[in-house]
Structure 1
Amino acid sequence: MPLELVTLPCLSDNYAYLIHDAATGATAVVDVPEAAPILSALAERGWQLSDIWLTHHHADHIQGVAALCAATGARVTGAAADAHRLPPLDTALPDEATFLFAGHPVEAFPVPGHTIGHIAFHLPEARLAFTGDSLMAAGCGRLFEGSPAQMWASLSRLAALPPETLICSGHEYTASNIRFALTLEPANAALISRSERVSLARGEGRPTVPVPLSEELATNPFLRAHLPGMKAAIGMPLAQDAAAFAEIRARKDRF
């Protein structure tokens, strides 16, 4: 039986994700911007939260953890390298870790850039990847702590996942990200089509995440920095891939 995924809007533009295994009743949440929407969704479905997985230390991803733990007794999992600035962890993961969630393998690995200690969770059998503020819908997170080279390496690792993988990212920034992407590739048919679908979804109040990795590969400028056409578009035809990425990120910061 496949895992059930629920996308939960939180705060003004954050997302948390519930993952539920009907066979065992196990339920995990990825990131906890606030507790109330998560508790409401659990009660509505009659689910009991067993696990909390944290991608990184920023307050808008962890500030509801204490209240959620108090209400549910869920176990908290995060990066050992960032344990000093995460809520208390029941499981502190090494840099490369594999564990089981209700019999489903979960791969946790570092994706530094937005923060140094950022990690992603990949469930290969379920074709899900929880990327927080590393790879985002049509974008990537700002480089608050890491270098462009680190973020490019992180995005390259995520880009190598199977293309059918659903990318579950942490914010509703898609419309703004697409507006920027169109300044670089105004004739990209896949990007134009995505822009129209995103506008429709947001007009109807629907989330624009998760998104298949295949769509990100076709439309996300940060995953396309290595392409000759993208390098030509930014006036850096001979640039190394990481340098082209750094230029695109700098332009987005000014956008």
Structure 2
Amino acid sequence: MRYSISRVARMAGISSRTLRHYHDIGLLLPAHVSANGYRWYGRGELLRLQRIMLLRELGLPLSDIAAALDGDTDELTALRKHREQLAAERDRITRVLDTVDRTIAGLSGERLLHDEEFFTGLAEAKDRLRQDLRVRYGTAAESHIADAEHATRHWTRADYENAAEQGKRLYTRMSRARRRGAPPDAPEALDLAAEHYQSVRALWPADAAAYHALADLITDNPEQRAIVAAVDPDLPPWLAEAVRAYAVQRLGLRMN
């Protein structure tokens, strides 16, 4: 039996637009598309949709779901990878909560809170990022680390909060572009990457090669990925590709 896209949408409790998006990105192809453009789905497609929705419910990004369902990786590997990301995000939130709890205790008079404690969670995250950079890029990363620390040495809580809010707004705009189907190397995406590059340059003078390398951190460093994924779980790989495209197309990086 074949079902129309509207019937499948009602059965699954999702929108027809979502099903069309899954078709466009190759995640769920209809069994048949009629001459008038109507999409029709069979039992096999319904079973695949069920697996997509189950994995989506667990928070997996669509790219990982596609890889798992199409055999590039297995569902267990995808779930384990996602668990690592969730655990990293849990640990990050726990550290931030600890900082918030200390701040509340200090402001309520329950305990004396030293000024530097306001930044404990942020400082620990910065230390982990520093270690990751050293492992990836060796001593060449040292100067970039020093530049970033110098640029933020006088930052206050308001400065950190403002930077975080600006970043969140930019990631939100990127997410909208991604959801509209803009490729990471499209002019719209490159314009957004230009804003991202300028925000990076405000902290350290990244050249084309350094900015290109930053893409790996966005997808592979759990805390950096979590920051972007908090806005859109599917945004990190899109942003990483936009960063690479920007470094090549607009900063003139030549790839060997």
TM-score range, shorter chain: under 0.3
* Structure showing the higher strand proportion among its residues: 1
The TM-score normalised by the length of structure 1 is: 0.24
Q: TM-score, normalised by structure 2?
A: 0.23
